[in-house]
Amino acid sequence: MAIHKLLIDDFVTVDYKLIAIHSSLEDHRLAYFINRELAILLEKCPNDIWVTINEGESCFSRFIFEDPGNDSAWNLIQNRNRITTMQSTTTTSLFEDTGLSIETSVFLMPELKTVDYVLKIENTPTLFEQDKVVEKLLSIKQIATAYSVDHKKLKSKNNLIF
């Protein structure tokens, strides 16, 4: 009887591109400008990305466009969020009932702390030109800068699995 051995690495292919976007726009406005410039249809995804950290849980918004013609998916993901936690004070004073609220910045990709949004393009076609997409993003005046990111160098790339 022959033994057939399957290697899991044979089935795992990393076929996506990442583009970092710096912009002070709200997520829905940025999605609108990207839709207009790139001629895609990013829509708000009902399943946001939840990440649990020491301070608590944080939710990152996500916009998605599934391109059936190229069998690809475009995801615009918020990278920065703020989480507010309440701490109770143990000292007895005139203002004993007041709690201390601490606001903490949380990042989906901690290596990219200056990045506001990440554009993830999955199943990119062989003729996909990432530099042209970056050029079109830079033509949007509300985007301060945009550039390609090498996902192989990221430690927290597992946060991009959804």
**Does a structural domain hold residue 74?**
yes
What count of other Cβ atoms lies within 10 Å of the Cβ of residue 35?
Answer: 17
**Does a structural domain hold residue 126?**
yes
Of the chain, the percentage scoring pLDDT greater than 90 comes to 41
pLDDT at residue 141, rounded to an integer: 94
**Does a structural domain hold residue 7?**
no
Identify the domain containing residue 58 by its residue range: 13-153
Of the chain, the percentage scoring pLDDT greater than 70 comes to 83
Inform me whether the pLDDT recorded for 13 exceeds 60: no
**Does a structural domain hold residue 158?**
no
Q: How far apart are CA 96 and CA 124, in angstroms?
A: 57
**Does a structural domain hold residue 46?**
yes
pLDDT at residue 159, rounded to an integer: 76
pLDDT one-digit tens code per residue, 17-49? 999 999 999 999 999 999 999 999 999 998 888
Q: How far apart are CA 51 and CA 142, in angstroms?
A: 28
**Does a structural domain hold residue 31?**
yes
pLDDT one-digit tens code per residue, 62-77? 999 998 888 889 999 9
List, in order, residues 6 or more apart from 95 with CB less than 8 Å away. none
Q: How far apart are CA 83 and CA 105, in angstroms?
A: 6
Domain count, the chain: 1
Average pLDDT value over all residues in the chain: 83
**Does a structural domain hold residue 18?**
yes
**Does a structural domain hold residue 6?**
no
Q: How far apart are CA 113 and CA 85, in angstroms?
A: 21
Q: Token pair for residue 26?
A: 């709200």
